[in-house]
Amino acid sequence: MKLFEPIRINSMVLENRIVLPAMVTRLSGEDGYVNKDIRDRYLRFAKGEVGLIVLEAMAVHTAKSGPLLRICDDQFKPGLAELARMIHDTSPSKVVPQIIHFLKISRSGWRQKISDLSIEEIKQIVINYADAAMRAQDCGFDGVELHMAHAYTLSSFLSAKNARNDAYGRTLENRMRLMSEVIVAVRKRVGASFPVGVRFDGEECIKGGYTLKDSQKIALRMAQLGVDYISISAGGKFEDAIPKPGEPLYPYTGYSGDRCMPSADYPDGANVYLAEGIKQYINSNGYYTPVIATGKISTPELAEQILESGRSDLIGMARALLADPDWPKKVREGRWGNVIRCIYCNVCKSLDENFRRVTCTLWPKGSLQAPYSDDKIAPTWSKQDPLGVQLYTGCTRLVWSEAKDNEGVYGYDIFRSENGGPYFRLTAVKRLGYWDTEVVGGNTYSYYVQAYDFAGNRSEPSNKVEVTIPFPV
Ligand SMILES: Cc1cc2nc3c(=O)[nH]c(=O)nc-3n(C[C@H](O)[C@H](O)[C@H](O)COP(=O)(O)O)c2cc1C
């Protein structure tokens, strides 16, 4: 599989094309130091053989925030260096920190805007990024990723909503000025061979925001300035965020937030078109900087098809790897059937929003990390024909009797076919029933369920049940 072909990014060689994009864990304290929970979280990804681990956004400056890692001072270096070393000792996974600058925001609803910044403050941002990148290099990381996506400072300069009236605003060239200054300053500090990646929005997904038309040109400039990879995200802006009284504005609550972390309601690979459009454009201009596509990519088939068709060079999977950090290892070993599959319910996102420690709803209750098991024994059904279905107005109700397992049943995958077509996995649940509210009149649906354990061993499929939904009129 192309997914497991190594790829060189400047001086680092990734074992495979699977990238863990940055995902804030809220596992650190407000002090910003690496702690045991953080180490455990990332060692789990290394053990699972993720090609490139991008550590959650860490601040290049001292501004106040909730729980967030920091790389704004040398005092944070020992903890970060230890984390880098432990990841390297665990597996061939490569690891880079994502470094971020953000503006002030308060619970009163006030937030600092880029138009409030003086030229001196802008120059300081450039210095902060260069210093932080240098620290990343000192700590033994394999590279560094510059956060230029979502609602944060560099993204706000790139934004079509940039309201500055000087050399940092108005035109696309001016909007790219700070980004360019940061890339040049970082490169100067870390040298030619240290991998420097960038993450930015392929589309802002807000009214009046930029689209692929601008992001292609921004990416080309990044490539011309010598960045080593370009990771494409989308949305996540303050402009359409939904205010909550007494809470700081969270930039993933509006439509652009949905586009950043597409939920179960979105089609798979929802944002791949952005990576594709950017890759096509920079390639046609003679630049082959690797491009990372992210956004609801969770199956090996889809990942492989994206790579094979040349729509991106690498595959980012955030929530799918949170649900099962062993995804790469299992798929490499031909055990896709053992992967615990993300249901894109976005509980992780709401934990982040509320400054609570980010976990996955599929994990056993109270766990801070994904469970690990080498067990080989699959669950079995406790009775024959365990599954039944009932028809209600506008929905169906599936109910089944429990499965048994030597180490405990972890959850149940639900599969559905429509009008005799192939079965698709609908979702997974932990309990013994499911309301399917997405059925529509005039169609026949068939279902089965499969129990899985902590190692991802699946039971035999249950009996199949079928139901025809009458037209409502
Ligand atoms: C809890 C959580 C925290 C995130 N934190 C970051 C972050 O620190 N930096 C970043 O660039 N993206 C962040 N993201 C966005 C993800 O990197 C990713 O782009 C998004 O989840 C879509 O990818 P997926 O469908 O594979 O999950 C976060 C997403 C989640 C769910």
CA of 300 from ligand 1 middle (Å) equals 19
207 and 281 share a domain? yes
**DSSP H or E segment with residue 224:** helix 212-224
Q: Is residue 295 part of a domain?
A: yes
Give me the CATH number covering residue 68. Answer: 3.20.20.70
209 and 299 share a domain? yes
What does residue 260 show for φ and ψ, rounded to 5 degrees?
A: -75, -45
Q: Is residue 225 part of a domain?
A: yes
59 and 189 share a domain? yes
348 and 384 share a domain? no
Overall domain count for the chain: 2
pLDDT, one tens digit per residue, over 312-364 is 999 999 999 999 999 999 999 999 999 999 999 999 999 999 889 999 999 99
Is residue 407 over pLDDT 90? yes
CA of 21 from ligand 1 middle (Å) equals 6
Which tokens belong to 415? 């599969």
Site residues for ligand 1, CB cut-off 6 Å: 21-24, 56-57, 98, 147, 149, 199, 233, 260-261, 294-296, 316-320, 348-349, 352, 358
Amino acid letter, 205: C
392 and 312 share a domain? no
CA of 5 from ligand 1 middle (Å) equals 24
146 and 190 share a domain? yes
Residue where one domain finishes, among candidates 318, 353, 388: 353
Share of the chain above pLDDT 90, in %: 94
pLDDT, one tens digit per residue, over 132-142 is 999 999 999 99
Tell which atom from ligand 1 comes closest to the C-alpha of 317: 26
321 and 393 share a domain? no
Residue nearest to ligand 1 atom 4, measured at CA: 23
CA of 409 from ligand 1 middle (Å) equals 29
Which tokens belong to 240? 């359409």
Residue nearest to ligand 1 atom 3, measured at CA: 23
Q: Is residue 67 part of a domain?
A: yes
E-assigned strands of 280-339? 291-294, 314-316
301 and 427 share a domain? no
Residue nearest to ligand 1 atom 23, measured at CA: 295
CA of 53 from ligand 1 middle (Å) equals 13
Residue nearest to ligand 1 atom 14, measured at CA: 23
Contact, 447 vs 437, CB < 8 A? Answer: no
Which tokens belong to 123? 């120059």
40 and 132 share a domain? yes
CA distance 137 to 173: 30
Tell which atom from ligand 1 comes closest to the C-alpha of 56: 8
Over the range 115-149, which residues count as b (16 or more CB within 10 Å of their CB) and which as e?
eebeeeebeebbebbbbbbbbbbebbbbbbbbbbb
pLDDT, one tens digit per residue, over 170-179 is 999 999 999 9
Give me the CATH number covering residue 422. Answer: 2.60.40.10
56 and 97 share a domain? yes
* Sign of the torsion angle spanned by Cα atoms 18, 24, 26, 30: positive
60 and 134 share a domain? yes
Q: Is residue 370 part of a domain?
A: no
User: Is pTM, for the whole model, over 0.85?
Assistant: yes
Q: Is residue 114 part of a domain?
A: yes
Tell which atom from ligand 1 comes closest to the C-alpha of 57: 8
CA distance 93 to 12: 10
Q: Is residue 366 part of a domain?
A: no
In this predicted structure, what is the pLDDT of residue 29?
A: 85
pLDDT, one tens digit per residue, over 265-314 is 999 999 999 999 999 999 999 999 999 999 999 999 999 999 999 999 99
CA of 463: how far to CAs of 339, 392, 460, in Å?
Answer: 22, 21, 9
Q: Domain containing 193: what range? A: 2-353
Q: Is residue 371 part of a domain?
A: no
In this predicted structure, what is the pLDDT of residue 461?
A: 98
Contact, 95 vs 55, CB < 8 A? Answer: yes
Average pLDDT, the chain: 97
What does residue 117 show for φ and ψ, rounded to 5 degrees?
A: -80, 135
CA 61 from centre of chain: 23
Q: Is residue 362 part of a domain?
A: no
Tell which atom from ligand 1 comes closest to the C-alpha of 234: 19
DSSP 139: T
321 and 406 share a domain? no
CA of 261 from ligand 1 middle (Å) equals 7
Catalytic residues: 152
CA distance 74 to 78: 8
pLDDT, one tens digit per residue, over 418-462 is 999 999 999 999 999 999 999 999 999 999 999 999 999 999 999
Residue nearest to ligand 1 atom 20, measured at CA: 261
